[in-house]
Amino acid sequence: MKVLSLFDGISCGMVALERAGIKVDRYVAYEIDKYAIQASEKNYPQIEHKGDVFDANFKEYKGFDLLIGGSPCTYWSIARNNREVTPDGIGGQLFMQYKRALDESSCKYFLYENNYSIHQNIKEFISEQLGVQPIMINSALVSAQNRKRCYWTNIPNVSQPEDKGILLADVLENGMPWQDKSYCMTASYAKAVLHNTLKQKQRTMVAVPVGAAQCGRDTMMRVPEATKQGYCEILRGGCVDLAQLNSKTRRGRKMTDKSNCLTTDMQFYQYIGKEEESIDTTKPVRLGNIGNTTAQANRVYSVKGKSVCLQSQAGGGKGSKTGLYKIDLPDGEYIIRKLTPIEAERLQTLPDNYTAGISNTQRYKCIGNGWTVDVIAYIFKHLKDEEKE
């Protein structure tokens, strides 16, 4: 199969084709992010990288079988103030490059993806241009991430994948038997600021437990400086005067158990709700906040549900890009931390260390901009079935 991929990112489409068992004879990719290209080339050196879609002559790809891509939703995103709600802006110009590629290449099959939250005007325009209606698939069905996306395709018989029942706990690196999911990772856009994300309720944080030996030193789970002293005793529920911890601690308060209000930088500020009972594991389960703010970047989620949607560029905040999650240990201790790059890759059903070799900041961004591979592989399996007939 010959594949033309626009806005290719880290080549999640290639991973999905491989996972669906489809042989790729040629894969031509248009992408301008140098870090995404670096990750793609590391994994698939055979991919032909061509650069900017605006400079392309897509007539060169007459006879190709499949056109894939998802133009950047950043100008259409609900996380952006004054987002575009009609197709005559930059977002529309980017999409029309995909439409131009489809017309000029005459690919037999196509798959176009974008965010479920884009304005209905935009969805209707895309449907009119491509001649098909979108199918909304939530990545939560095949992964531990809550991520709703629309897919426009002429690949036949695509409906909904079966729910694999994967929870956030299942993808954590520490191997603890957790049971949660995350929120969706979102792409970056020019001049994005944190309050845009918070205003639109984008979610990015979670919490996890560690043993006593891990408290007081910096580990992968990153026990915060402001709470290293006395951290374990606090989590055991002892009555601790937080004002005595160190100078970074906010106003001192006492707690009698781990459900009470704490005001250190990395402790719960609000009451933690019913984490152990009556929770809906099909979506993110919010427990409370850290610090003295209810801002989205400081919200904490359980690993007994789904993760929040991964964000490629979520501004400041302790849980930016992945979310903050609380992980409990058998002895009752826990920590709160972000997800690691590998865990973020697992939320997108990518292979471990697929994006290794670039900085963590760029890894989170590239992963957030990418596709949930198993959703795309599910769609491509229908293509494989079609080709057999």
CB 324 within 8 A of CB 338: yes
CB 366 within 8 A of CB 6: no
CB 67 within 8 A of CB 108: no
CB 354 within 8 A of CB 371: no
pTM reported for the whole predicted model: 0.75
CB 187 within 8 A of CB 316: no
H-helix segments, 168-260 = 194-199, 231-235
Distance from the Cα of residue 361 to its chain's centroid? 14
Burial class (CB in 10 A: 0-12, 13-18, 19+), 73: buried
225 CB neighbour count, 10 Å cutoff? 12
Residue 125 has pLDDT above 70, yes or no: yes
Query: pLDDT over 70 for what percent of the chain?
Result: 66
What average pLDDT does the segment 40-61 reach? 97
Which of 148-152, 180-184, 289-293 is predicted with the least confidence, judged by mean pLDDT?
180-184
* Domains assigned to the chain: 2-160+372-388 (3.40.50.150), 168-347 (no CATH)
What average pLDDT does the segment 246-268 reach? 30
H/E run at residue 114: strand 109-115
Selection from 115, 137, 341, 304 nearest residue 208 by Cα: 304
Residue 122 has pLDDT above 60, yes or no: yes
Higher pLDDT, 313 or 60: 60
Residue with tokens 């158990």: 257
> Residues, the chain, total?
389
C-alpha span between 78 and 119 (Å, rounded)? 8
Which residues are CB-neighbours of 66 under 8 A, at least 6 positions away? 1, 2, 3, 4, 107, 108, 109, 110, 111, 383
CB 333 within 8 A of CB 238: no
Selection from 251, 254, 320, 235 nearest residue 292 by Cα: 251
What average pLDDT does the segment 37-49 reach? 98
C-alpha span between 353 and 216 (Å, rounded)? 28
Tell me the pLDDT tens digit for each residue of 224-234.
333 333 332 23
Q: What was the pLDDT predicted at 173? A: 85
The whole-chain average pLDDT of the chain stands at 76
CB 78 within 8 A of CB 69: no
H/E run at residue 129: helix 120-130
Q: What was the pLDDT predicted at 330? A: 61
State the Rg of the chain over Cα.
Answer: 22
Q: What is the dihedral of CA 350, 356, 358, 364, to 10 degrees?
A: 40
